[in-house]
Structure 1
Amino acid sequence: MNLIQGLSLAGLLAVVSVALAQQLGGLLSPLIFAILFGLVIGNLLPALSQGKWQPGLEFCKKRLLRIGVAFYGINITLQQVAEVGAGALVVDILMLGSTLFIAWWLGRRWLGLDGPTALLVGSGSAICGAAAILAAEPVLRARPQQTAMAVGTVVLFGTLAMLLYPLFYPWLGLSPQAMGIYTGATIHEVAQVVAAGSAMGDEVARVAIISKLTRVMMLAPVLLLLGYLLSRGSDNAPAARAPLPWFAFGFVAVVVANSLLSLPAAWVDAIRHLDTWALTMAMAALGLSTQLGALRAVGIKPLLLAGILFLHLTLGGLIVTHMAAGWL
């Protein structure tokens, strides 16, 4: 099986995406640029997602993606999680759990969405944006158009939150530490959290990043939960079982190793860069394989669900953060 053509194409889009993200100072994740470039090129030149290109693109979307998710844990240590205290952990858990519950219940019962679509939108909103959606995609057996639609909601509402939080910060009645926790617990992407936190000051940014990475650490147990929820959905056969997400356990192992071992800084930095490339190539391959006609078939309901989750995160998160102020 020839992988070179597809891998080279995804790698080229990853190079452009990473370079553009760096030029913008990390305002947006390279994963976002990668899927956008992939969508444009894949729809203008659909032959690039077929034939000799397909094996390499499939390798990126499956194996390279799983490797990237596992090593994403290099960004987190248990010491960072402990640093923000019990209050931040409470806010993170409450917002993550409630967001997933609303996505599953509202998406399925009220909007009539299928299980994978509802949970993809929910995981992107609840955990860490596009990276969480990519991680959940193989567990949920989602179609490329469902995944691409979910990523689009992260781009829209995560960017909106990134712009609004610094504007409203002076009127929210939160200390810098509390604002950091609120920001990290409710904005979608890590890059968006960094941008919003930096606009509100160094202390807010520091706490926001740690709070966000605490959410990211919950990715592994959430993947197991998503597989369980989908296996109980009416659109699956009773005997259907979600695949075991080995990469989720790999993610936890990397977090623990990064916390307990004194890894050389150069190693950690190299792993982070390689991991970014792996996930960016996976996102580029996803975009190349997704046709806009299939996205239209998904409809507007996922966008409506994402909007409701955005309101829950911003308003509900603010209430929860104020209530948890005693622990902060």
Structure 2
Amino acid sequence: MRQALPGVLIAIALAALARGMAQQIAQGAIGLPKIPLSPVMCAVLLGMLWRNSIGVPVWATSGLNWTMHRLLRVGIALVGLRLTLGGAGAIALTALPVALICLSVALVAGIAIARLLTVPRRLGLLLAIGTAVCGCTAVVAMSPVIRARHAETAFAVTCVVLFGCIAMLLYPWVAAHFFAASPVHAGIFLGTAIHDTSQVIGASLIYSQQNAAPAALAAASVAKLLRNLSIAVLIPVAAWLTQRAQERDGGANLDPAAAASAGRTPLVPFFVIAFVGFILLRTIGDALFPPAGGWQAVINTGYTASDLFLTCGMTAVGLSVSFTDMWRIGWRPLAAGFVVATLVGSCSLLLNLGMVRWL
């Protein structure tokens, strides 16, 4: 932990600066028009600007990785305190058909477009899985299962980061335009249209903060949880299909390191289980304790901690985005990733608009 401390402190300092900047801009205190700018959006943009202008020192890398992968996921898990089983169940029933259709579109379109653009089969599958399920987590989990090469995994992660970050910064404004009167559908749109869990949480926080609509964060979290759970089905299916394919071609083109690590990745990320656990805790606590007093103080503390952890984590996400790395992977994987991301976002938008209008 001592080795990680410098990077953690950098993330905290930039997050605090981003919150201050967002406040000043929102109040029009620095000579700019009053703009309700989210602290999370400021944090991500500030992190990206810092990484691609000043750079990130090597001694800060481990701490920033810890902030992005550990602290951020604790913040995501704590979002579960905003929900009870009844509330989560109602959102899940609405979000489930949207999530399933978007998942299917991403998988089918990702594989088909990758084949059309002659992107390698395993890279195409990783792009499809990353867009369909849970972004970088899904790519890293699926990579050893399908025996992908390290370069293919790196390319897929880069595409997920690029298009997920673009969606994270753009889609909150789209949601505000189309779902101004329905924050739940705004959250479901963000939760089913954006790649990675961290990016979904970042986008829903931006929407919630700029539109004073906390329900969007809870709805986006539940919709994303449904997508995350699908990995528990997709990984065994992919493993079986890969095994059959390798039996047919005699094991050619395997990456030995990927093959050795297959099966080590858990089917469901721990933070997803923790998220459900906090929903259960909130449900039981609401049933046992009065709405005011000590229990409410616990909930408020959870809210505050979640917001702080998420803002610091999203700052670290911004600090991880290298524009130089984006352009090294070639136009074909980028084109495939862009088309699939656009199709999934459009599909989610149309489905949610239909539900708002006709249901």
Query: Contact (CA 8 Å) 2:99, 2:227: kept in 1 or not?
Result: no
Q: Which residue of 2 aligns with 1:119?
A: 129
Identity across matched positions, percent: 18
Query: Contact (CA 8 Å) 1:61, 1:283: kept in 2 or not?
Result: yes
Q: Which residue of 2 aligns with 1:53?
A: 60
Q: Deviations over 1:52-89 (max 9, x none)?
A: 2122112212222332232221222113235xx5xx64
CA RMSD of aligned residues (A): 3.7
Separation (CA, whole Å) in 2 of partners of 1:227 and 1:194: 33
Larger Rg: 2
Deviation at 1:288, TM superposition (A): 2.0
Q: Note the 1:1-328 alignment, pairs <5 A.
A: 2-21=3-22, 24=26, 29-46=38-55, 48-50=56-58, 52-81=59-88, 85=90, 89-111=92-114, 112=119, 114-123=124-133, 133=135, 139=141, 143=154, 145-165=158-178, 182-188=185-191, 189-191=203-205, 194=208, 211-212=219-220, 214-218=222-226, 221-222=229-230, 224-225=232-233, 227-228=235-236, 240-241=262-263, 243-244=265-266, 245-262=269-286, 264-298=295-329, 299-320=334-355, 325=359
Deviation at 1:206, TM superposition (A): 8.5
Q: Note closer, same or farther for the CA distance 1:10–1:106 as it changes in structure 2 (3 Å cut).
A: same
Query: Contact (CA 8 Å) 1:133, 1:150: kept in 2 or not?
Result: no
Deviation at 1:110, TM superposition (A): 1.2
Separation (CA, whole Å) in 2 of partners of 1:94 and 1:134: 23
Q: Note closer, same or farther for the CA distance 1:133–1:259 as it changes in structure 2 (3 Å cut).
A: farther
Deviation at 1:219, TM superposition (A): 5.8
Q: Deviations over 1:102-138 (max 9, x none)?
A: 1222123214454444333334xxxxxxxx6576576
Q: Note closer, same or farther for the CA distance 1:227–1:62 as it changes in structure 2 (3 Å cut).
A: farther
Separation (CA, whole Å) in 2 of partners of 1:277 and 1:226: 33
Q: Which runs of 5+ in 2 are unaligned?
A: 28-34, 144-152, 192-202, 243-253, 287-293
Q: Deviations over 1:194-221 (max 9, x none)?
A: 47976xxxxxx68767654542553652
TM-score computed with the length of structure 1 as normaliser: 0.72
Deviation at 1:5, TM superposition (A): 1.3
Query: Contact (CA 8 Å) 2:185, 2:216: kept in 1 or not?
Result: yes
Separation (CA, whole Å) in 2 of partners of 1:277 and 1:209: 15
Separation (CA, whole Å) in 2 of partners of 1:64 and 1:195: 21
Q: Which runs of 5+ in 1 are unaligned?
A: 124-131, 170-175, 199-204
Separation (CA, whole Å) in 2 of partners of 1:27 and 1:230: 44
Query: Contact (CA 8 Å) 2:187, 2:220: kept in 1 or not?
Result: yes
**How many residues were matched structurally?**
294
Separation (CA, whole Å) in 2 of partners of 1:114 and 1:70: 30
